[in-house]
Structure 1
Amino acid sequence: MRYTVIGGGVGCARFVLGLREHVRRAGGQDEIDVVVNTADDWWVSGLRISPDHDSLLYALAGVNDRDRGWGRADESERVARELAAWGAVPEWFTLGDLDLGAHIARTAWLRDGATVSDVYARLAARWKLGADLHPATDTEIDTHVHTTDGRRMHFQEWWVRHRAALPATRFEQTGIARATPSDGALRAIAEADVILLAPSNPVVSIGPILAVPGMRDALRAAPAPIVGVSGIIAGAVVRGMADACLAAIGVETSADAVARRYGARSAGGLLDGWLVDETDADVVGPLSEAGIRTRAVPLWLRDADSSAQVAADALALAADA
């Protein structure tokens, strides 16, 4: 079996870890592909930074900082302090020394003409990840946030510096109109036996993937069932500030509203199935009637056992969808 996950960031990383653990417990023969968001990438201090990809890379490699939830374990910040002394990096954005190694390698390869897909493969070759990572697109796209006070800033400034506290009116992915899905992403979607939307931020992680021209068509045409896992539990985000992103596009912070935003594939949307937490069991009936087969199970990804069980539940729902 081949499983393809769509997403990015820490929520996606935790879900893929659970899926990998489920595959290991089932005999280790299944394959995992991940189509990763690239729209929160940006240039800083002359380096190309890829937060969603790196969260997945480090987590799957087992070198991530589990306490902070991002970056490398046993990190130091000597170079960051030197960059700050020169005024060459925003004071609110810290680059760890080990993390800088990946950014420097990525930038050097890109400058030499490598594609983003090439860079993903080269970085992954260092570790045995148990999954293949593919950028949603090889085209450079960055997300900018428009705020209610008339400002326009890069997503990372809004997210990291302001902690999404500035009310946003919309999110703009520059360059996305000329983007195309990467070959690896299209192959992973077309050849999947099950496609899973990770419990990632639906607006700024999964949203930009779906906004790449041709990506929604590829998903709708895929023979595999598509099952999403809610990142909203009991009306609250599991991690991060997805509620601020949802508010900006006029969507309620609820498992029900996010599912309806994706839509039923039978009605021109994407979802065949939707996994919600037990606390949201009241939405199972209405969503199922709307064409999205929905099941309520424990969704907290607390450890290897609970994460593997969520992955197993998502696959079981796919088998019934």
Structure 2
Amino acid sequence: MSPRVALLAGGVGGAKLADGLYRALPQGELSIIANPGDDFELHGLTICPDHDTLLYTLAGLGDRERGWGLAGESWNALEQFGKIGAPDWFRLGDRDLALHIHRTALLKSGSRLTEVNRELQRRLGLPDAPILMATDDPLRTRVRTPEGWMEFQPWFVGSQAKPEVLEVEFVGAQRARVSAEVTEAILSAELIVIAPSNPLISIAPILAVNGVREAIASARTRGVQVIGVSPIVAGRAIKGPADRMLRAAGLPSSPAGVARALPGLFDTLLVEESDLTVPLRAELAPLVSRIIGATTVMHDDDARLNLARQLLQAASDAA
């Protein structure tokens, strides 16, 4: 019998595991808690990059080569933005733009972000609307670089994540409250999974929302385990700047660095099998109760599903 799973996830790396779990589990047994820290406003529109990457991936609509946006997208609006002097550093495709316009209109009508995004999921082919926003309140990641503080998307996309990150903060975290849907998803879960997403800017913003850590702690008191997948393989991030950010934070670019970046979170950590050396086991031993070697690089659909099954088997073995 499959467990009910709550998955904390960022965008690209998180979406791959989310896709595997979504296919491995019966419909309705997976709740995905999306990182809100990447959300921002552009052209007067509310954009939720990690949510939308998860949505497009699970619905089979995403551009697999880029890892974001819609497959077969056109770029007429983006070209026109450039011609008229509007910001064009963030690549919004024409069909993607339609989603942001409609989302913003629904938000302005008074609907909650969670409600709006779940309706978009249903419209685009996910009847169980499994992706939940960690909070309906504004929470925005920003980073301090040698040039000063930057909003997340201008740093990550506009500057291609090149400026060194000296500090990370989550603006609005003190006021952000966990949504009722996320609280229910965590408290009803039989397994909590941490996706192979950047621990500092994808998972940490979710945990910064008031009520998320408390819900996880409550679930653990009744025996629910937390299993994570390391996003670091052979000392490098599978995707994105996680390796550089860990080193800048004084942590090793390794699964041990991931565990230290999220102290006390993992009961079990899945690590790329070829990385699981005796020294790494020794380094992880004080940080994680159980360490499991697995094939964590997800090059294709089969690899996504296989990792999901390895993870579920690891949870079953520990039960």
TM-score scaled by length of structure 2: 0.92
How many Å separate the matches in 2 of 1:15 and 1:204? Answer: 18
Query: Which of 184, 193, 196 pairs up with 2:193?
Result: 196
Within 5 A, what are the aligned runs for 1:126-165?
Answer: 126-129=123-126, 132-149=130-147, 151-165=148-162
The aligned counterpart of 1:273 is 268
Secondary structure of 1:34's counterpart equals strand
Secondary structure of 1:204's counterpart equals helix
The aligned counterpart of 1:33 is 31
Is 1:116 aligned with 2:126?
Answer: no
Return the offset for 1:238.
0.3
Secondary structure of 2:62's counterpart equals coil
The aligned counterpart of 1:16 is 18
Given residue 255 of structure 2, which amino acid in structure 1 is its aligned partner?
A: A
- What do residues 82-120 of structure 1 show as CA deviations (whole Å, max 9, x unaligned)? 22222222x322211011011001111111111111111
The aligned counterpart of 2:244 is 244
Secondary structure of 2:123's counterpart equals coil
Secondary structure of 1:98's counterpart equals helix
The aligned counterpart of 1:88 is 86
Return the offset for 1:13.
0.7
Return the offset for 1:212.
1.1
How many Å separate the matches in 2 of 1:131 and 1:50? Answer: 16
Return the offset for 1:78.
0.7
Pair 1:170–1:140, CA change in 2 (3 A):
same
User: Does the aligned pair in 1 maintain the 2:235–2:243 contact within 8 Å?
Assistant: no
Return the offset for 1:74.
0.9
Secondary structure of 1:168's counterpart equals coil
Within 5 A, what are the aligned runs for 1:212-223?
Answer: 212-222=209-219, 223=222
Identity %: 40
Secondary structure of 1:143's counterpart equals strand
Secondary structure of 2:24's counterpart equals helix
Which consecutive residues of structure 1, in runs of 5 or more, have no partner in the other structure?
A: 264-268
Return the offset for 1:241.
1.5
User: Does the aligned pair in 2 maintain the 1:204–1:245 contact within 8 Å?
Assistant: no
Return the offset for 1:285.
4.8
Which consecutive residues of structure 2, in runs of 5 or more, have no partner in the other structure?
A: none
Query: Which of 306, 312, 318 pairs up with 2:315?
Result: 318
User: Does the aligned pair in 1 maintain the 2:74–2:95 contact within 8 Å?
Assistant: yes
User: Does the aligned pair in 1 maintain the 2:118–2:129 contact within 8 Å?
Assistant: no
Q: How large is the RMSD of aligned CA atoms in angstroms? A: 1.6
How many Å separate the matches in 2 of 1:248 and 1:289? Answer: 23
Given residue 170 of structure 1, which amino acid in structure 2 is its aligned partner?
A: E
Given residue 16 of structure 1, which amino acid in structure 2 is its aligned partner?
A: A
How many Å separate the matches in 2 of 1:148 and 1:137? Answer: 30
Misfit runs of 4+, over 4 Å: none
Return the offset for 1:131.
5.7
How many Å separate the matches in 2 of 1:252 and 1:144? Answer: 22
Q: Which moved more, 1:275-284 or 1:287-296?
A: 287-296
Secondary structure of 1:172's counterpart equals strand
Return the offset for 1:30.
6.3
User: Does the aligned pair in 1 maintain the 2:20–2:304 contact within 8 Å?
Assistant: yes
How many Å separate the matches in 1 of 2:281 and 2:106? Answer: 47
How many Å separate the matches in 1 of 2:110 and 2:244? Answer: 37
How many Å separate the matches in 1 of 2:15 and 2:287? Answer: 30
How many Å separate the matches in 2 of 1:159 and 1:291? Answer: 30
Given residue 240 of structure 2, which amino acid in structure 1 is its aligned partner?
A: G
Query: Which of 67, 71, 74 pairs up with 2:72?
Result: 74
Given residue 233 of structure 1, which amino acid in structure 2 is its aligned partner?
A: V
The aligned counterpart of 1:266 is none
Given residue 66 of structure 1, which amino acid in structure 2 is its aligned partner?
A: R
User: Does the aligned pair in 2 maintain the 1:11–1:199 contact within 8 Å?
Assistant: yes
User: Does the aligned pair in 1 maintain the 2:259–2:287 contact within 8 Å?
Assistant: no
How many Å separate the matches in 1 of 2:113 and 2:282? Answer: 42
How many Å separate the matches in 2 of 1:38 and 1:182? Answer: 12
- What do residues 94-151 of structure 1 show as CA deviations (whole Å, max 9, x unaligned)? 21101101100111111111111111111011133366111011101111221123x2
How many Å separate the matches in 2 of 1:113 and 1:249? Answer: 40
The aligned counterpart of 1:305 is 302
The aligned counterpart of 1:7 is 9
